[in-house]
Structure 1
């Protein structure tokens, strides 16, 4: 029986050497190398969507893969595709790295430069382990076959533009449409998601910082299951604890959430930290909220340029939402798109604070009336951005669910689905 092997190496020379050696292994069936972590996860997700048996038995991860660091990539592969044996290739083959690789879910470590004998031994061991797991699970029928949850980040150009309100409404719309949705507050020093939803909970994202293996039970202990249907992972009540959540912690938390929820909406606030920069980098959809005034648009441009300089996200891959818009505003969405280089959504959010004042003051934005023009615009935007379930799978038992379904069926959503098809 042949062993299917998928190498992942960002270094072209390393990829060629690995491919050459794999071609010499008996009964090996090597695939073409993938060059980054995103391509690897996308490839595995596509194969898993067919069946678990379509997945390769072995994945080789080179230490210079990116943008996700090698150990974090191994952890994510192990979480999402546990019947795949992952082997790390590294110039450091010492006991510390070996232990860290095993903790991340690797089935072996190969020192660089690669030798044929060591490659053959480690690939064989990982393939045997993979085959045993699949036999134990009855051909893989119990393995997850989806690509994992989508991550959507919502950041603000500056304070007061409506970042948290937008993130909360996106999450509520997704939950009403039937998606298992987590809402995460990564505005680590000034997060207000709990205040907007009238939730007090002693645990926060800071309680997950420093945990190397975030199991489903550990994650569940930190998450608050709200009556709205949302799973809430709040910012720490003591702002100074936000410093505990660094880039590495954020990546581990997001990987754990992806494995458990269909959609993860992250409120990134307005400040750039290692944690929320990592979230924006990992997100399938990165939303930036601005208002149509000179100060906010300048702030939005600064933030977009900073993301580009830090290689977090390109301007053209950022979606701009224009909040508090009116036809009489001098700065219109087309001008904001030109100034910032982002993609401005077709649906602006109207300036109608009087509709919101009562629920915001009460800290219960989930009770906003369905007739609110602001709510209708934001839920329509959720549909345009692909955050909602298809109408056939959404519950229509409540007016909120019906509103979410109508948003998903909007013109832009139909165009998006047509392109995907």
Structure 2
């Protein structure tokens, strides 16, 4: 017989405690392990009863539910906490998640909403607690390649997704993609995958991060390409810290030969952490003056951070002879040569994005796809499997991705 989910109800309203208790009586897989009328009693009973879940009211006399959550998270880490509140403002949600809460229910909630929240939090906790540690590995750690620019709309996500698929196709290696554009990331959309969990869920539930736990939060594009999706809501980005990203990237290096990181166009703490952890940063430019100006500033900042020429390389996207300047002029302005140049091909790229199929799969013979394969070959170096192109590329991609 499956063990019941043991729940402690902590609320200063006796009527609320009784209503929740009655709601739970209708579900045989759950049981009320105890009741608490204030935060201090909730802390004491959490240590004594060791429940699976605590339903914690945020506003109670004396100590509030958020402070109690912080204490219980430290002193009774086996217990997961769901905050209950009449306030739905994002500030309360943010404070609750930082304190260690695993979910946030807004009163009044239905019985179905309560049961769904309890089951999801419990299942996530079980998945976390039952993780088996991997044996130490002797394989060479993976390589982190970050696609970055200080200009939005430059094509970072297009390059990141197609580069990941091209690397997998032509090296046979496992490739992980991290969507570090935490507020408005679109990697999952570009690859037409529906993630069951995101990086926000991972950092909320991943108290003891390792490869097995991380894998359970990845969405699959194919057997070889896995995605750690960006949060579903922009406000959830605040729950993902620079420390979280550093730990995630360290762990992914043990599971993937290549880790491609898509980024936000800023030098925030989280982005600086990603850049520092990267083995190679691909700085994306275009052939318009605002972008060139921003990229020039970006390169100056990277130089001031002590990044060497081996650390970052320039990629030119949407190269077009009709824009009024040539590639050499752009290189002279930036004082760096482009390691790869991607031609402008709006028809192929837009159709690819709208279908959620990378153009290296849908149109591998086009010039823009061949430019991505060229960039992938530079990154893969000795891992690259030489095949006749374009026929070898087409056959390889069809074999790997259907």
Query: Do both proteins adopt the same fold according to a TM-score greater than 0.5, normalized to the shorter chain?
Result: yes
Change (3 A) 1:256 1:316: closer
Cα distance in structure 2, aligned partners of 1:403 and 1:328: 33
Which residue does the alignment assign to 2:375?
381
What per-residue deviation string (whole Å, max 9, x for no partner) do you get for residues 109-158 of structure 1? Answer: xxxxxxxxxxxxxxxxxxxxxxxxxxxxxxxxx85333300000001241
Which residue does the alignment assign to 2:254?
259
Cα distance in structure 2, aligned partners of 1:361 and 1:183: 20
Please give the residue correspondences for 1:314-333 in structure 2 after superposition, counting only pairs within 5 Å. 314=308, 317-333=311-327
Q: Secondary structure, in 3 states, of the residue corresponding to 1:261?
A: coil
Say which of 278, 295, 300 aligns to 1:283. 278
Cα distance in structure 2, aligned partners of 1:388 and 1:235: 31
Say which of 234, 238, 241 aligns to 1:246. 241
Say which of 130, 145, 148 aligns to 1:155. 148
Say which of 286, 296, 300 aligns to 2:295. 300
Which residue does the alignment assign to 1:208?
202
Does structure 1 retain, via aligned residues, the 8 Å contact 2:194–2:219? no
Structure 2: 5+ residue stretches without partners: 1-134
Cα distance in structure 1, aligned partners of 2:144 and 2:182: 18
Please give the residue correspondences for 1:44-123 in structure 2 after superposition, counting only pairs within 5 Å. none
Say which of 378, 384, 392 aligns to 1:390. 384
Does structure 2 retain, via aligned residues, the 8 Å contact 1:205–1:235? yes
Range that drifts further, 225-234 or 248-257? 225-234
Q: Does 1:269 align with 2:251?
A: no
Cα drift, residue 213 of structure 1: 2.9
Cα distance in structure 1, aligned partners of 2:232 and 2:312: 30
Change (3 A) 1:185 1:324: same
Say which of 231, 236, 250 aligns to 2:231. 236
Please give the residue correspondences for 1:177-192 in structure 2 after superposition, counting only pairs within 5 Å. 177=170, 178-192=172-186
Which residue does the alignment assign to 2:352?
359
Which residue does the alignment assign to 1:19?
none
Which residue does the alignment assign to 1:168?
161
Does structure 2 retain, via aligned residues, the 8 Å contact 1:174–1:382? yes
Cα drift, residue 382 of structure 1: 1.1
RMSD between aligned residues: 2.9
Does structure 2 retain, via aligned residues, the 8 Å contact 1:154–1:269? no
Cα distance in structure 2, aligned partners of 1:143 and 1:216: 11
Cα distance in structure 1, aligned partners of 2:302 and 2:168: 29
Report how many aligned residue pairs link the two structures.
261
TM-score w.r.t. the length of structure 2 is: 0.59
What per-residue deviation string (whole Å, max 9, x for no partner) do you get for residues 211-233 of structure 1? Answer: 45312221011111223631100
Cα drift, residue 376 of structure 1: 1.0
